[in-house]
Structure 1
Amino acid sequence: MKFTASRLSEGNKVFPTEIYLEENSVEIKAPGLFSGDSKYLNYEDITSIEVDSPMIGFATLRLFMNGNKIEVHGFSKKDIKEIRRIIDENRSKRRRF
């Protein structure tokens, strides 16, 4: 499943950040003009999730794993809730086995 940050949000005007929720992992792509950044996170490596969703504006998602933090901004509140739900479901599935 693919989610794309709004072009109206800060830092996403030309190349918006994309989140891909795959069967076993999350891929976060931050495209750029000459190069981009792509990060893969296995669901079981994600230790904590934080969501910051102000009354007005775009939401921010923070994923924590092994002392590291990845922060993405510019998604709608609806998208962030869905992203968090899917990640939480997949994290709990992986822990049962």
Structure 2
Amino acid sequence: MKGEMNKLYAITDYQKAVERWKRWFKAAKASVIPALVRFAKLKEKRIDGLANHAKCPINTSRLEGYNMIKVAKRNAYGYKNDRYFFTLIRYLSLPAYDLASPKNT
């Protein structure tokens, strides 16, 4: 279901998006997974916003980037070296890697 839902965000036609979201909600509510049924009922009320993504595919990634810089600025308060601040921003912009810890054997 998750993979099917992710494919819905690739649709570029509004009417097709509404139709496919309704079909997804119906399938989700027919499932026996209580969390999925609750999620479908919650999101079904917001079908217009979900389908509008087909017309205007925007997200909040840029806003999150600005917030990250604000937090870095707050953490760097008091440092007199601007180079440190810009290095900190570059460091925080690196992609995060999930390094799994070794298993205890």
Class of the TM-score when normalised by the shorter of the 2 chains: under 0.3
Q: Normalising by the residue count of structure 2, what TM-score does the alignment of the two structures yield?
A: 0.24
More helix by share: 2
Q: Normalising by the residue count of structure 1, what TM-score does the alignment of the two structures yield?
A: 0.26
